[in-house]
Amino acid sequence: MNSDQFCVAPAVRRAAFLTAFGTLCVLCGCHSAFVQTTILNQSGTSLRLVELEYPSASFGTTNLDANANYHYRFKIQGSGSAKLDFVDAEGKTHQSVGPELDEGQEGTLLVTIKKAGVVTWVPQLIVGK
């Protein structure tokens, strides 16, 4: 027997285990609860430093052109309000407080930035399985 035969066996066992585990998770309905988020810029001008804060973390983009959107997926860990900060074309900083988010929720969150810095929030969230 050469040494290559000993190296293959653990890799085959590991692959078989991962395949079986993955199949079991699918059959049992195991999944992680994520929120698919879209930030839509309908302000008519480009925005800078767009940041959405949620319990335990935040995400954002340096620039968001007029009529553009930004997509991000996140997992809620903890509870608290969503918050959006951005800078408009005139250099004015805007802040908006959104919905309360709770750990385990999943679904979609649409955040629309309109003229004059008005922000609307459309959460469609449920408690995950």
| Nearest alpha-carbon partner for 36 in 87, 84, 107 | 107
Answer yes or no: are the C-beta atoms of 52 and 97 closer than 8 Å.
no
Distance from chain centroid for Cα 62: 17
Q: 70: domain range?
A: 35-127
Rounded to two decimals, the pTM is: 0.75
Instruction: Give me the mean pLDDT over the 22-28 stretch.
Output: 52
Instruction: Give me the mean pLDDT over the 103-124 stretch.
Output: 97
| Nearest alpha-carbon partner for 49 in 57, 37, 61 | 61
**Residue 84 shares a structural domain with residue 97:** yes
**Residue 92 shares a structural domain with residue 44:** yes
Total domain count, the chain: 2
Residue 16 has pLDDT above 90, yes or no: no
**Residue 79 shares a structural domain with residue 123:** yes
**Residue 3 shares a structural domain with residue 54:** no
Answer yes or no: are the C-beta atoms of 75 and 34 closer than 8 Å.
yes
d(C-alpha 46, C-alpha 78), whole Å: 32
pLDDT at 31: 62
Q: Which CATH number characterizes residue 43's domain? A: 2.60.40.2890
Instruction: Give me the mean pLDDT over the 85-103 stretch.
Output: 97
Per DSSP, which regions of the chain are E strands?
35-41, 47-54, 57-64, 69-74, 79-87, 93-102, 105-113, 119-127
